Structure 1
């Protein structure tokens, strides 16, 4: 739908913001239930998301575009997939450390490439596929958490709860990207940032209603803790709104697989936050994995030139 170089800086900024938001959200998850920790990114993100759209319309006065009939459907589907993915990611944190949990979820780049091929018909050049393979090898090395594993040990490790939930999280994040891309294609405008903000403005309230309604039904007492955590949760909401605006802009202007491959730079930011913010030790194997991820991103970009 769109052809704009803005997708690359938007994706890089999104990776940094997501790593920061996930680090803060992990701390929130220590005092809230699984669904309570997941809800804060949507509930506290709504005011900031609304402000972003309003600011855009003030700076760039633009008529409201026509929306396709299936626009709301794809916003809701993408939003629900993101709720599931986020809950699974928080669960992975509780099994293993912050970096390892994120590493498993970043298999979404490979899963997204396959799903976008079958569901959206998007294709990538061979060099970009090599970048995907390199990136996946990197995140798998990161997933070992510094332990020396043989081939059989590694295969068995994939059956551990952290691996299962992390990989499942990546699958639903990939579905999120596809749903959001389809939603942006349903916005009749030639401005990708505007389309991304409209999709965000619709998706986040839907997510708040879905997960907030579930929390009120299943864990009504938890809602009070969510509301009382506003000092830290507000940071999650701000970072989530800014990060999602950047991700959605990327999805609006480039193939899903390419955005997710480049988005693997989040792992570098994740390691930095894990080391400096959460005081987790960085091991040699994690550094080697990081180098592979960076090489994968470079290969993926080279394949598009």
Structure 2
């Protein structure tokens, strides 16, 4: 199940970098369309991903370039497309009147990922790890409401709303992204999980650049120039995205998808901690409770992963 202890620090670092990248990307989204803002992650992240992979391949751990199975590229393409679809579905949820519900339901990704990895990859988790996943998901759902008080059962009653459907679908495609990434790394003939993760990262980002870049050129050609004009900030987004994805891919290559996702949700802790200690924003009681559940979920999931 867990093939290397590196999955834990890689996942924690990935959570920090993702929170940082999200904060920087908000500046880009103010001047670009949604699709253009999404493209900068891949277009500007690709050179950094190639540089990271080459640095590891030729300087850190020199070795022959491993052979890749026939399904490697298809799984990378599936992962890239699933991530693009998931992001767009989440944005569609944001556009709905009750976007809070959409955001909350998108956080079911960890549970959906656990179920999908069990069905598609044969991964098995202990009862303690499952308890951690459930606690963590409830915690991030609470945090995603942004402190809004929701009556008991309101989320269940909102299942019929478009925002809820988009949110659940977004979580499903994010879970599929993780499963496809894990499967793609298994197609590389190497015992080095970092090498396989970085190889999958480069191919996936390259395919995402082609897919979303082609769409932008076809449907929003006026935004292409704006993407290149924003290179100063977009370059930062690309660097953080490449570093964060390298960590996520390493986690997926070395540990069950569900464990990586539930531990990665500490991103919420980092984000709120930054808001509280740096921006001096006051934490609401519901946010404290949500943070507590996220931390409890991580502890239980880690406890359940110990053999």
**TM-score between the two structures when normalised by the length of structure 2:** 0.91
Indicate conservation of the 8 Å contact 2:100/2:145, yes or no: no
Provide the C-alpha distance between the structure 2 equivalents of 1:274 and 1:97, rounded to a whole number of angstroms: 24
Q: Are the structure 2 counterparts of residues 101 and 277 from structure 1 closer, same or farther at C-alpha, using a change threshold of 3 Å?
A: farther
Q: Is the 8 A contact 2:113 2:176 kept in 1?
A: yes
Partner of 1:46: 46
With over 3 angstroms needed to count, the CA separation of the structure-2 counterparts of 1:244 and 1:101, relative to structure 1, is: farther
C-alpha distance in 2, partners of 1:184/1:240?
19
CA-CA distance at 1:88 after TM superposition: 3.2
Residue of structure 2 equivalent to 1:204: 205
SS class of match (2:197):
helix
Is the contact made by 2:101 and 2:158 (CA closer than 8 Å) also made in structure 1? no
In the other structure, the counterpart of 2:109 is: 108
Q: Who is 2:154 aligned against?
A: 153
The offset of 1:155, in angstroms, is: 2.8
User: Which runs of structure 2 are paired with 1:65-144 in the superposition (5 Å)?
Assistant: 65-92=66-93, 104-144=105-145
d(CA) in 1 for partners of 2:267, 2:165: 20
- Structure 2 distance, partners of 1:158, 1:139, is 18
Partner of 1:264 in structure 2?
265
Equivalent pair of 1:23/1:273 in contact (CA under 8 Å): no
Classify 1:95/1:28 alpha carbon distance in 2 versus 1 (closer, same or farther; 3 Å). Answer: farther
More displaced stretch, 207-216 vs 279-288: 279-288
1:142-193 CA-to-partner distances (Å, cap 9, x unmatched) read 2332122212433345555554444332221110110010000000001111
User: Which stretch shifts more, 102-111 or 290-299?
Assistant: 102-111
1:96 Cα deviation from its structure 2 partner: 8.9
Q: 2:12 matched to which residue of 1? A: 12
Counterpart CA distance in 2 for 1:233 and 1:165 is 27
Instruction: Say which SS state the counterpart of residue 151 (structure 1) adopts.
Output: coil
Deviations 1:35-70 (A, max 9, x none): 111111000001101110111122321101111111
Is this contact kept in 2: 1:26–1:90, CA < 8 A? no
Q: Which residue does the alignment assign to 1:55? A: 55
- The separation in 2 between residues aligned to 1:100 and 1:16, in whole angstroms, is 25
Matched-pair contact (CA < 8 Å) for 1:102–1:267: no
Deviation at 1:276, TM superposition (A): 6.9
Aligned residues: 305
Instruction: Give the TM-score taking structure 1 as reference length.
Output: 0.92
Secondary structure of 1:303's match?
helix
Mark the runs of 5 or more structure 1 residues left unpaired by the alignment: none
1:110–1:121 Cα change, 3 Å: same
2:243 aligned partner: 242
Q: Alpha-carbon deviations, 1:53-112, whole Å to 9, x = none?
A: 111122321101111111110000001111112233445556699999765433211110
Q: Report the aligned-residue RMSD.
A: 2.5
**Residues 140 and 294 in structure 2, CA contact (< 8 A), matched pair in contact too:** yes
**Could you tell me how far apart the structure 2 residues matched to 1:90 and 1:299 are?**
31
C-alpha separation between the residues in 2 aligned to 1:90 and 1:272?
A: 25
